[in-house]
Homo-oligomer: A and B are copies of this chain.
């Protein structure tokens, strides 16, 4: 059923690629070393030549899922926009693959994959003269919110697809449509976090200014 069961040797990338394919097709619970090996036309033990263990394999898959994050940068008009752009993009990455948020959440928590939010928010901060420390705090808030929100969202989607809902039904179409209510909730909460960052920046500037004033007063 799945292609490439011929006798050619597999590369590390082939393995990760097939794993991502199986993830989309059958979901995380069925992404087992044994199924993956079968799909590649190989014995399960063969996978351990390419990856030391399953978690390492899943980390490689996580990196593929987050790859499109490279395309977004915080070069917007403000930190506010950067937070929204990066957060929105990350949710898109996670929604693009089945069970991706659960997978990425664990890779991130285990430290096997680095935050895709942090470097982009740091870059934006430097562009706008905002201290790194504030960007780091915002990056944590954004990343955890996005992963948590999308995890919740995706788990509900998976439950729906198993036909566990009573009335409203699976809202048809596996793909999340553009105007979903979750979209609005997500956007609102993300905006709230962005607002919080702006307040923190303003407070920081106030403190700086007060310090300067005191300094010039004692000096003058």
Question: Which residues of A line the B interface, CB within 8 A?
Answer: 102, 105, 108-111, 137-138, 140-141, 143-145, 147-149, 151-152, 155-156, 159, 185, 188-189, 191-200
Contacts and interface: CB of A to CB of B under 8 A. Distances in A.
A148 B109 CA distance: 8
Per assembly, the copies of the chain total: 2
19 contacts: A105-B151, A108-B152, A109-B155, A111-B156, A137-B185, A138-B189, A138-B192, A140-B145, A140-B185, A141-B189, A141-B193, A143-B148, A144-B147, A145-B148, A191-B200, A192-B197, A193-B193, A195-B196, A199-B199
Contacts of A108: 152
Interface of A is mostly: helix
B110 A192 contact: no
A92 to B, nearest CB: 17
A160 to B, nearest CB: 11
In order of increasing CB-CB distance, the 9 nearest A-B pairs are A144-B148, A196-B196, A195-B199, A192-B196, A109-B155, A195-B196, A141-B189, A148-B148, A144-B145
Contacts of A137: 185, 188-189, 192
A140 B148 CA distance: 9
Contacts of A109: 102, 151-152, 155
Contacts of A140: 145, 149, 185, 189
